[in-house]
Structure 1
Amino acid sequence: MNVHGFCQYLAVLLCAMSAAMARADVWLVDLQGAVGPASADHVIRGIHQAGEAGAELVILRIDTPGGLDTSMREMIKVILASPVPVAGYVAPGGARAASAGTYLLYAAHLAVMAPGTNLGAATPVQIAGPPGLPAGGDKGENPDSPSAMEKKIVNDAVAYIQGLAQLRGRNAEWAERAVRGGESLSAEDALKLDVVDFMAVSVEDLLQQADGLTLSLDAGDITLQTAGLPVYHHPVDWRSEFLAVITNPNVAYILMLVGIYGLIIEFYNPGIGLPGVMGALCLLLALYALQVLPVSYAGLGLLLLGVALMVAEAFAPSFGILGIGGLVAFVIGSVMLMDTELPGYRIAMPVIAAFAVFSVAIFSIALSLVLKSRRQLSVAGVEHLIGEVGVVERVTSDATWVRLDGELWHAESNATLAENDEVTVDALDGLVLKVSKSRKEKS
């Protein structure tokens, strides 16, 4: 094959590859578990990549109990601005689109549910009070009256979901009830109340029913041609999995404390290197995780104050005052660290208890070592030689030399000394030892 023929072959191959890449597939993106930074990153990148690939439709398969408001709103912004229509699909049977999932379903261009699924309970979780009390907790004389802040949060959530309902032509009245009263609906009832567009038993059934529907996007109306299209399942990659691990509140909490303790150990034992490197790495990962999590800065401040007080107790003993205060601040700060009532984003109490006990143990050991060092006799200078036993190594006509602490010392004694005699240091006269024969030598 000559050069011209090879170039033609390469051009044909590139055209075939471009045509294959431009094929209008359907992208399937899963949203499972609590809504958070990791799941939002997975969904957002999936929608962006589907748009770059020229997909005909993105199916967002939802099964979530809800999650963080910030992550939910980031996904909704991307859905509303997507150049590719997004179908929210609550599936498989037994799945739910609760809380944040309801907002996502309302935001999707097409809302679909599988039989045996449900949606709703969209009241902001942060304002929910303890069991048995109305939202907002104890209100004193009028416990049924919500606070001004709670009213703002609920009204904002109502306006948000109603705006989505009006944009997509769905039931805005029920959406308000889902937020204010926490109502839920089965798939069949959601279809009757015009909350969803239709029900589908599978992805293939969804594509068959969606074929020929006209949807409104920012760029204009689009008519779907989805019947028989291949489905590409967008996988969860290493980035999303790694983000899911480090943004787990318990993992972020552990990384932060390991980082702090690693740096403390390195500062008090410079030159080791490993604690400092590991501490800095863990602390940077923790800071990245905390900046995407709902962190209470008051809780973070108390936690750091607690560690500082326990360190101060170990190296400047105050008879337990600093240590006890540090432990209390540490525990309270750990409990307050996550500024949300969502169960999936709270730090587990066993983890807090374990680190509290570990901290007390570490700084108790440090305190005991400090006190022990203070009780030891000073070994500076030559005064520590008094009472030590040495051996006469050499005797001359004008001097006696004693081997002591690995060195030769000029010694004087009232007794006659010979080589290999053991002597005890009684006093010092400058750099001259005043010695006497040891009891063993006298006997």
Structure 2
Amino acid sequence: MDWLFDEPAVVLVLVAIAAILLVIEVALPTLGIAGTLGFAAATGAVVAVLRDDMTWWPLVGPAAAVLVWAVLIAARTSSPVTEVVAAASFALGGVGFGLANDDVASIVVAVITTAVLALGFPRAQRAANRLLDRPSVVGMEGLVGRAATVDRWQGDVHVVLLDGSRWNAETDATVELRAGDEVEVVGFHGSTVAIRPAVVRPPAGPPLSPAS
């Protein structure tokens, strides 16, 4: 199997795999799995290049392309011109690597991989944006928008009950709250939740006398 790593086309395949996995790692949370596999593929490509003394410098093009794609995803920026530049950098680097090492298969791999990455990048970016736009469902931010019930509201003691847990609470509402009132969590400060009444009761007043 060692002979496989002597082929420039295999090196470019490893570079392509590394590029795809690293872009996925930036776009989607994979707990480092895609990133680790991507770095492993890149390491395999480096080892193969050094062992067979291949001309490596054209691979700077694919590396630069991956960096540009990653920056676009991280910055949540869409730039058709920049995407074309990144794809061209990957293609020229891959084709240049094949020409420098007299390997036609590498050129074919470069063309196919460039097409896959260029077409797949917009989808990866949209998926990343959708994921980042989702409201947080963990930690204190996950409580915002949730309904709670007033447990105690006397003097400086303000406590609400949320999913069976008691939380210190504060509010800017002028309405007086009482135990059992329904409220909504609108924010937090430290471990104190900010709330507002879910239903505002009209202030108590004397009963209306019938009109004479």
Question: TM-score scaled to structure 2, two decimals?
Answer: 0.61
| Bigger proportion of residues as helix | 2
- How many angstroms apart in 2 are the aligned matches of 1:375 and 1:266? 17
- How many angstroms apart in 1 are the aligned matches of 2:193 and 2:98? 69
Shift of 1:273: 6.0
Shift of 1:320: 2.6
Aligned to 2:196: 435
Alpha carbons of structure 1 residues 319 and 347: separation in structure 2 relative to 1, 3 Å:
same
- Which of 80, 93, 100 matches 1:333? 93
Report the aligned-residue RMSD. 4.6
| One-letter amino acid of the structure 1 residue matched with residue 147 of structure 2 | V
Query: Residues 238-293 of structure 1, C-alpha deviation per residue, up to 9 Å, x if partnerless?
Result: xxxx23222223212112333455567678979646742x4444334323433426
- How many angstroms apart in 1 are the aligned matches of 2:81 and 2:125? 13
Q: Are the counterparts in 1 of residues 148 and 183 from structure 2 also a CA contact under 8 Å?
A: yes
The DSSP-based 3-state class of the residue aligned with 2:197 is strand
- How many angstroms apart in 2 are the aligned matches of 1:255 and 1:324? 22
- How many angstroms apart in 2 are the aligned matches of 1:340 and 1:434? 66
The residue correspondences of 1:257-336 to structure 2 (distance < 5 A) are: 257-260=16-19, 262=21, 272=32, 275-276=35-36, 278-291=37-50, 292=52, 295=55, 297=57, 299-316=58-75, 317-336=77-96
Select the structure of larger CA radius of gyration. Answer: 1
Alpha carbons of structure 1 residues 314 and 363: separation in structure 2 relative to 1, 3 Å:
farther
The DSSP-based 3-state class of the residue aligned with 1:338 is helix
Alpha carbons of structure 1 residues 414 and 358: separation in structure 2 relative to 1, 3 Å:
same
Alpha carbons of structure 1 residues 432 and 325: separation in structure 2 relative to 1, 3 Å:
closer
Aligned to 2:207: none
| One-letter amino acid of the structure 2 residue matched with residue 358 of structure 1 | V
| One-letter amino acid of the structure 2 residue matched with residue 320 of structure 1 | P
What is the identity percentage for the equivalent residue pairs of Structure 1 and Structure 2? 19
The residue correspondences of 1:36-75 to structure 2 (distance < 5 A) are: none
Higher RCO (C-alpha 8 Å, min separation 6): 2
The residue correspondences of 1:389-404 to structure 2 (distance < 5 A) are: 389-394=147-152, 399=157, 401-404=159-162
Aligned to 1:19: none
Q: Are the counterparts in 2 of residues 313 and 363 from structure 1 also a CA contact under 8 Å?
A: no
Alpha carbons of structure 1 residues 364 and 260: separation in structure 2 relative to 1, 3 Å:
same
- How many angstroms apart in 2 are the aligned matches of 1:400 and 1:326? 56
Alpha carbons of structure 1 residues 393 and 371: separation in structure 2 relative to 1, 3 Å:
same
The DSSP-based 3-state class of the residue aligned with 1:347 is helix
- How many angstroms apart in 2 are the aligned matches of 1:352 and 1:362? 15
Alpha carbons of structure 1 residues 290 and 425: separation in structure 2 relative to 1, 3 Å:
closer
Shift of 1:365: 4.1
- How many angstroms apart in 2 are the aligned matches of 1:400 and 1:315? 41
Alpha carbons of structure 1 residues 407 and 258: separation in structure 2 relative to 1, 3 Å:
farther
Shift of 1:376: 6.2
Q: Are the counterparts in 1 of residues 20 and 117 from structure 2 also a CA contact under 8 Å?
A: no
Pairs aligned (count): 194
Question: TM-score scaled to structure 1, two decimals?
Answer: 0.34
Q: Are the counterparts in 2 of residues 424 and 435 from structure 1 also a CA contact under 8 Å?
A: yes
The DSSP-based 3-state class of the residue aligned with 1:306 is helix
Q: Does residue 1:414 correspond to 2:148, yes or no?
A: no
- How many angstroms apart in 2 are the aligned matches of 1:374 and 1:424? 24
5+ long unaligned stretches in structure 2: 203-212
